[in-house]
Structure 1
Amino acid sequence: MEMEEADKGEVFERNNKSRLDSHPGAAAGTACRLTDDLILEILSRIPARSLHRFKCVSVRWRDLIADPANRKKLPQTLAGFLYTTTAGRNRHHFASVSRGAAPFDPSLPYLQPSKYKDMAQVDACNGLLLYLSSSKNMVNPWALAEDDFRFVVCNPATGRWVELPPQPQAPADRFRYNCMASLAFDPAVSSHFHVFCFEETTVETYMTGVNVYSSRTGAWSRGDGGIVEKVALFFYSKGVFVGGMMYVIGNPKGISNEHVLLGIDMQGKVRRTIPMPYGRRFGTIGSSQGCLLYAVSSVDDNNKILYSEIELWCLKDCDSKELVLKHTASIDELMSMTGEKYRVVGIHPDCDTIFLVSHGGDTLSH
């Protein structure tokens, strides 16, 4: 999310709008004469909010802005984190990492309570938000019957939102419940988004199917996941969308100390199963500069967790079949100063930065 110098970008666009509208041919001709280096130099000097708007100028500009090789030259976009507290009912908050105000009202007043009585944030991806919304109070959102909730995808910058239709019916002989859901959206590739909803049943305690919603078709499609080995996903865990694939962490059935990374395509089929480093469970997946990353506490020679050291593992591309160690960072000084232990809560999408939260949950560091 972006917000710094937003007013400057709006002034720039407003001052130039009449000239561009009056002489569209001249503007197009002038733009064509600019080299990519000159365009990047110009774009690097504008606010992040305007940068995202300028993706709509042309396919060429969109590709320049979206190219991972150019991201370090362009304005950084992370303003902070959205999170939900559940004291009595779900309340939505914004934690700033730039000490500024939230770029929009986290309570989404145009949806709650006028449209929905309660909402729980499920995921976020490239500026879009995924919520579970209901006419009832949601103490445990995933325990609701299917008729009691709907998924809602929202663009908080514009206030536009869409309610997704009900998912395909479960088999009549078993009760199905959702174990997690993830949002897939890459504006550099398409203006359409997808929602992945992973399910289990009371009969099997592992993933039995994946429902995928496409905003292009406006409908859900159902698949069995195409899983050779049976894998259980973790409640409230997150998926990460990178390179056209959704990645989630699971536990192969019957192997308690082993964890794997599943790569799932847009049809809900598992295309690859990648072992996690040492099978450790204390980690967070995220993406940065077009790569999938896994942040986890180190271990010593006796496999004891070292909370003072963070390892960052990388899946370089969609063809990779293993995670490789990229960085090791010490947080011993931070722990000595505060007397607290920390876990990784997020990874910056453009910079070499990770965000930590204290185990008490009220101190954010990076």
Structure 2
Amino acid sequence: SLRRSRSKHLTMSSSSPRTAMARDSKKKKKKRLKGSPVSKLTDDILADIISRVPYKSTCCCQCVSTRWRDLISHREHQKKMPQSIAGFFHEGSNAFRSPRNARYFTNLSRQRYPLVDPSLSFLPDCERLDILDGCNGLLLCHCWMAVDPMAFYYYVVCNPTTGKWVAVPATDGSSMVSVARLVFDPAVSSHFQVFEFIDEQSRGIAEDELDADCCGRIEALAIYSSKTGAWKYQTVEHGPFVIPENSVSAFFNGILHLPAYECVVAVDVEGANWWLVDVPEPPYYADCIGGVFPSQGHLYFAESDRSKLSVWVLEDYVTGKWTLKHNVSHLHLFGREYSSFADYYSVISIHPEHGLIFIVSGEEKTLMSYDMDSGELCILRQLGWECRPPYVPYVRLFSESLGDEN
């Protein structure tokens, strides 16, 4: 009898009011989560709700649950989700530093540390790695062979956010190609294409046979598809045109656009259809070219002359019709305090969701943003005198799928 009484007493002690309250709280919480109104929403409705919040909030939504993460990453919902430039990849070279060549990532947020590790340490070891281009969250890189740094090894297409990467075999002329671009649309497919624009010298034409009036003329195009795992070639019959090495490309509405001298070259993903669209205003000197940028559902062309910055929007490919969207004098753009920036600067990007232009200028390569709506110029940070183009804008991509990834 005493033993039964003691056992009963222990049982009552273990069920103290505090323990009982905690147990009831867990039950209520579980019941509340199970019957949450959000859990009852269909994927389409939930995706539509998330698409209406700012980009930073969308990134936070990735951490709510595996359902939300997969929902945001799904390509059927990619077009609905807000996009924002997280920052820029760029490189620098300094003979007094080791290593001599360094790679950086500059945040556009106010976070102290980079959102992305610029070392791309998840990639295989190679003697040298150069970032050539970026498109919708993926990067196109050159990898040089460790045993022979002068021998071209392969391309790598990678996603810095997820650490996924795919090796792309080089062509016979890849080591001599100066213009290679990446094409990728996560809303359409997980596969990508790599474009090589092959000029006369890369094609092996002798120097005495080169066209003196159009040196560096593009002669052929090679396209690699991650879906087929092969390159295809075709002769370029449109032109002549010359694409500068560091021209800023834009992939928009299934078409790759590259600024050339006095025109914009446009080609579809199959390389079957070409357009040569005259620029709105010829450059004021031979080495000056503008840039093409997709933003807010349109294709923009930004160029500068000795006195102003002009931004145009393309209305028609066939007629080459451009409409002037914005025009600002250098005095109004930079003010007297930064008037020296007007001597040399370049537009490196336009925000995909807003009328915000990103500019690099001055000896210290100062990164600035200019709001076309408010006319406000904002000094973001100095990248350093050693930094050089390309300045590759990066939009974070959370999708795990990448062609035939490793």
TM-score relative to the length of structure 1:
0.73
Of 88, 96, 114 in structure 2, the residue corresponding to residue 81 of structure 1 is 88
- Cα contact 2:199–2:218 (8 A) shared by 1: yes
- Counterpart position of 1:254: none
- Counterpart position of 2:303: 296
Q: CA deviation at 1:361?
A: 4.6
Q: Which has the larger radius of gyration?
A: 2
Q: CA deviation at 1:41?
A: 4.5
Provide the alpha-carbon RMSD of the alignment: 3.4
- Counterpart position of 1:211: 222
Q: Within 1, Cα distance between the matches of 2:70 and 2:46?
A: 18
Are 1:249 and 2:251 counterparts?
Answer: no
- Counterpart position of 2:351: 348
Q: CA deviation at 1:46?
A: 3.0
Are 1:161 and 2:165 counterparts?
Answer: yes
Q: Gaps spanning 5+ residues in structure 1: where?
A: 1-18, 252-258, 299-304
Q: Rate the CA distance shift 1:228–1:82 in 2: closer, same or farther, 3 A.
A: closer
Q: CA deviation at 1:232?
A: 1.7
Q: CA deviation at 1:30?
A: 3.1
Q: Rate the CA distance shift 1:357–1:149 in 2: closer, same or farther, 3 A.
A: same
Of 61, 79, 94 in structure 2, the residue corresponding to residue 66 of structure 1 is 79
Q: Within 2, Cα distance between the matches of 1:66 and 1:317?
A: 23
Aligned to 1:57, the other structure's residue is in SS state: helix
- Cα contact 2:143–2:155 (8 A) shared by 1: yes
Q: Within 2, Cα distance between the matches of 1:103 and 1:292?
A: 28
Of 245, 249, 252 in structure 2, the residue corresponding to residue 239 of structure 1 is 249
Q: Within 1, Cα distance between the matches of 2:47 and 2:255?
A: 29
Q: CA deviation at 1:149?
A: 3.0
Q: Within 2, Cα distance between the matches of 1:232 and 1:297?
A: 20
| Counterpart mapping for 1:165-244 below 5 A | 165-167=169-171, 169=172, 177-202=176-201, 203=205, 204=210, 205-225=216-236, 227-244=237-254
Aligned to 2:177, the other structure's residue is in SS state: strand
Q: CA deviation at 1:40?
A: 4.0
Aligned to 1:231, the other structure's residue is in SS state: coil
Aligned to 2:365, the other structure's residue is in SS state: coil
Q: CA deviation at 1:270?
A: 4.7
Q: CA deviation at 1:43?
A: 7.9
Q: Within 2, Cα distance between the matches of 1:87 and 1:136?
A: 21
Q: Which moved more, 1:289-298 or 1:190-199?
A: 289-298
Q: Gaps spanning 5+ residues in structure 2: where?
A: 1-29, 211-215, 370-406
Q: Within 1, Cα distance between the matches of 2:289 and 2:44?
A: 52
Aligned to 1:337, the other structure's residue is in SS state: coil
- Cα contact 1:344–1:355 (8 A) shared by 2: yes
Kindly provide the amino acid, as one letter, of the partner of residue 83 in structure 1.
Answer: H
- Cα contact 2:259–2:290 (8 A) shared by 1: no
- Cα contact 2:303–2:310 (8 A) shared by 1: yes
Q: CA deviation at 1:310?
A: 1.5
Q: Within 2, Cα distance between the matches of 1:266 and 1:125?
A: 13
Of 71, 76, 84 in structure 2, the residue corresponding to residue 57 of structure 1 is 71
- Counterpart position of 1:47: 58
Identity of counterpart residues, as a percentage?
Answer: 28
Are 1:129 and 2:139 counterparts?
Answer: yes
Kindly provide the amino acid, as one letter, of the partner of residue 154 in structure 1.
Answer: C
Q: Within 1, Cα distance between the matches of 2:179 and 2:138?
A: 17
| Counterpart mapping for 1:308-327 below 5 A | 309-316=308-315, 321-327=320-326
- Cα contact 1:90–1:120 (8 A) shared by 2: no
Q: Within 2, Cα distance between the matches of 1:64 and 1:122?
A: 28
How many residue pairs are counted as aligned between the two chains? 308
Q: CA deviation at 1:136?
A: 5.4
Q: Rate the CA distance shift 1:362–1:41 in 2: closer, same or farther, 3 A.
A: closer
Q: CA deviation at 1:108?
A: 1.1
- Counterpart position of 1:261: 264
Deviation string, structure 1 residues 174-225 (Cα, Å, up to 9, x no partner): x983120111111111111111111113324310111111111111111113
Q: Within 1, Cα distance between the matches of 2:110 and 2:222?
A: 39
Aligned to 2:222, the other structure's residue is in SS state: strand
Q: Within 1, Cα distance between the matches of 2:270 and 2:121?
A: 34
Deviation string, structure 1 residues 339-366 (Cα, Å, up to 9, x no partner): 3223312211221100111132521111
Q: CA deviation at 1:51?
A: 6.0
Q: CA deviation at 1:116?
A: 0.8
TM-score relative to the length of structure 2:
0.66
- Cα contact 1:284–1:295 (8 A) shared by 2: yes
* Higher RCO structure (Cα 8 Å, ≥6 apart): 2
Q: Within 1, Cα distance between the matches of 2:269 and 2:253?
A: 11
- Counterpart position of 1:286: 293
